[in-house]
Amino acid sequence: MAKTLFDKVWDKHIVTAESNDTPAIIYIDTHFIHEVTSPQAFDMLRERNLTVRRPDRTFATMDHSTPTTPRGADGEYQFNGEKEKHQVKQLKINCETFGISLFELGDERQGIVHVIGPEQGITQPGMTIVCGDSHTSTHGAFGALAFGIGTSEVGYTFATQCLPQRKPKTMGIRVDGKLSEHVSAKDLILAIIAKIGIGGATGHVIEYFGECIRAMDMEERMTICNMSIEAGARAGMIAPDEKTFTYLKGKPYAPKEAFWEDAVNDWSQLFTDENAQYDQLVVIQGEEVKPMITYGTNPEMAIPINGTIPSSAPKHALDYMGFEANQPMLDKNVDVVFIGSCTNSRITDLRAAAKIFKGKKVASHVRALIVPGSHQVKRQAEEEGLDNIFIQAGAEWREPGCSMCLGMNGDIIQPGQICVSTSNRNFEGRQGKGGRTLLASPATAAAAAVTGKIIDATQIKETN
Ligand SMILES: CC(C)[C@H](C(=O)O)[C@@H](O)C(=O)O
Ligand code: SF4
């Protein structure tokens, strides 16, 4: 029978088949953990006197509560408070107790969980991957079935390396043609969510395919899969291809020598068969996608940057944002710019931003924070001199982590401030109580930083 990419990965991982009364039990290949959603799961293990079933397939990093400022003169990290400090300390104790590899603060491999998994080659095609974190969908860019789980499921995965799951439905999103020159993967995913809505893919695993997706590099594909969850999807997937293999080759945890060829042979089978059917199909024309920005309080409230806020926009959202229906977004004042998060903190994102920052100054009333997704991204950016471009412009160049994406580490915006952010959620107060978030691409965010307002990035002259 013809199978979708999702079916192929799902079928390979069934331990016990689903019945009317019981969900399927599926095997989990890789389990990522971080300091926020793992502590209770470790407590559960201790209470029941259990061990971690596959410590060798469990990988931990510190990202949400970590400071993005360097160590102080005393060599200590400057945590926002005792709670954050404790979370990080506890993760280290837990990983030592249960024999789990930890990429801790100070480790060259540390960074946002969804940035470091692929970077280390831990994320691989055909795997089932879970993490107590909703943006685990990011890893689907490699043709993995990757989804977020709750803390009790983190506990089940620790103890059994399996999870009970009902089989989700599938949604194919085909993106034909090409994106225009100044349109990015972030604009495309915002356009997709604006079209299908925040509940549009509920109960489904999305597979993105078509000419436009094939043309994307792995970092763009990660940006797309990352935000699948914002359309309600269980996961997002893209069939692996030569770009996927080239990206992974030689990465620390990628298969080596003879294993590499076997792996590529297996991975090459991971595509949707010609006659396979999705439960739903959505078609997007790449050329029609414009640079996007959100105006409201969830990611579907997004419009082309040159557009006007729809008259149908929910009043409560506009009241919160301080906007009105039918107004243009262009020229609105901006207070803060955040370039970072598991959506857009990779090297290509920083390069896109640096092109606009180069030779310019951050507007005097704007605070611009640039937070690489990992140490590896940071180091690469510094080798390319991007840090100097940002610093000379007057932006803050920080240590890696989730940072202002949700402000758990104290990097927050003030009540009423407007922040153009390359992250994935614009919920009320997410970046700080009373703060207002506008989601956009790295280029749009950089353009807002140097002009102090919402502007189409194509209007900015790049300096060579
Ligand atoms: C802290 C964590 C549970 C949360 C998530 O699951 O998504 C965070 O990463 C987020 O982006 O809101
Ligand atoms: S960067 Fe933001 S969205 Fe991603 S894991 Fe961290 S808090 Fe969640």
List, for residues 45-97, the tens digit of each pLDDT value. 999 999 999 999 999 999 999 999 999 999 999 999 999 999 999 999 999 99
How many Å apart are CA 331 and CA 338, to the nearest integer?
A: 18
Q: If DSSP codes are grouped into helix, strand and coil, which group holds residue 334?
A: coil
How many Å apart are CA 91 and CA 106, to the nearest integer?
A: 14
Pick the CATH number of 5-165 from 1.10.540.10, 3.90.79.10, 3.20.20.10, 3.30.499.10: 3.30.499.10
Contact between residue 341 and residue 63 where contact means Cβ atoms under 8 Å apart: no
Domain spans of the chain, in order of start: 5-165, 169-238+271-288, 292-454
Nearest bound ligand to CA 373?
2
Nearest bound ligand to CA 403?
2
Please indicate whether residue 341, judged by its CB atom, sits closer than 6 Å to ligand 2. Answer: yes
Please indicate whether residue 348, judged by its CB atom, sits closer than 6 Å to ligand 2. Answer: no
What the block records as the tokens of 49 is 């006197």
Please indicate whether residue 297, judged by its CB atom, sits closer than 6 Å to ligand 2. Answer: no
CA of 384 to the centre of ligand 1 (A): 31
CA distances from 193 to 173, 187, 204, 434 (A): 11, 10, 14, 24
CATH fold for domain 169-238+271-288: Aconitase; Domain 2 (3.40.1060)
Tell which atom from ligand 2 comes closest to the C-alpha of 340.
1
91 Cβ contact partners less than 8 Å away, ≥ 6 residues apart = 33, 34, 35, 38, 39, 60, 62, 102, 104
Please give the CATH architecture assigned to the domain spanning 292-454. 2-Layer Sandwich (3.30)
pTM greater than 0.80:
yes
The answer to whether ipTM exceeds 0.90 is yes
Mutate to test the pocket of ligand 1, among 341, 406, 423 (most ligand atoms within 8 A of CB): 406
Report which of 140, 158, 183 is spatially closest to residue 33, judged by C-alpha positions: 158
How many Å apart are CA 361 and CA 337, to the nearest integer?
A: 13
How many Å apart are CA 414 and CA 114, to the nearest integer?
A: 27
Please indicate whether residue 424, judged by its CB atom, sits closer than 6 Å to ligand 2. Answer: yes
CA of 138 to the centre of ligand 2 (A): 11
CA of 425 to the centre of ligand 2 (A): 9
The shares of helix, strand and coil residues in the chain, as percent rounded to the nearest 5, are 35, 20, 45
Residue 262: how many other CB atoms lie within 10 Å: 10
Nearest bound ligand to CA 374?
2
CA of 37 to the centre of ligand 1 (A): 9
Beta bridge partners of 436: 418
Tell which atom from ligand 1 comes closest to the C-alpha of 424.
11
Mutate to test the pocket of ligand 1, among 135, 136, 154, 403 (most ligand atoms within 8 A of CB): 135
How many Å apart are CA 272 and CA 168, to the nearest integer?
A: 16
Q: Give a three-class secondary structure readout of 68-134.
A: CCCCCCCCCCCCCCHHHHHHHHHHHHHHHHHCCEEECCCCCCCECHHHHHHHCCCCCCCCEEEECCH
Each of the 464 residues of the chain gets a pLDDT tens digit; together they read: 999 999 999 999 999 999 999 999 999 999 999 999 999 999 999 999 999 999 999 999 999 999 999 999 999 999 999 999 999 999 999 999 999 999 999 999 999 999 999 999 999 999 999 999 999 999 999 999 999 999 999 999 999 999 999 999 999 999 999 999 999 999 999 999 999 999 999 999 999 999 999 999 999 999 999 999 999 999 999 999 999 999 999 999 999 999 999 999 999 999 999 999 999 999 999 999 999 999 999 999 999 999 999 999 999 999 999 999 999 999 999 999 999 999 999 999 999 999 999 999 999 999 999 999 999 999 999 999 999 999 999 999 999 999 999 999 999 999 999 999 999 999 999 999 999 999 999 999 999 999 999 999 999 988 87
Tell which atom from ligand 1 comes closest to the C-alpha of 133.
6
Mutate to test the pocket of ligand 2, among 110, 133, 230 (most ligand atoms within 8 A of CB): 133
Amino acid at 378: K
Q: Tell me what pLDDT residue 461 has.
A: 85
CA of 399 to the centre of ligand 2 (A): 15
Q: Tell me what pLDDT residue 158 has.
A: 98
Tell which atom from ligand 2 comes closest to the C-alpha of 405.
2
CA of 340 to the centre of ligand 2 (A): 9
CA of 105 to the centre of ligand 1 (A): 19
How many Å apart are CA 86 and CA 80, to the nearest integer?
A: 11
Query: Which residues approach ligand 1 with their CB closer than 6 A?
Result: 36-37, 64, 133-135, 148, 406
CA of 165 to the centre of ligand 1 (A): 21
Please indicate whether residue 405, judged by its CB atom, sits closer than 6 Å to ligand 2. Answer: yes
CA of 338 to the centre of ligand 2 (A): 13
From atom 2 of ligand 1, which residue's Cα is the shortest distance away?
133
CA of 257 to the centre of ligand 1 (A): 37
Contact between residue 461 and residue 451 where contact means Cβ atoms under 8 Å apart: no
Q: Would you say the CATH fold of 169-238+271-288 matches that of 5-165?
A: no
For tokens 């614009």, the residue is 426
What the block records as the tokens of 351 is 């390069």
CA of 202 to the centre of ligand 2 (A): 20
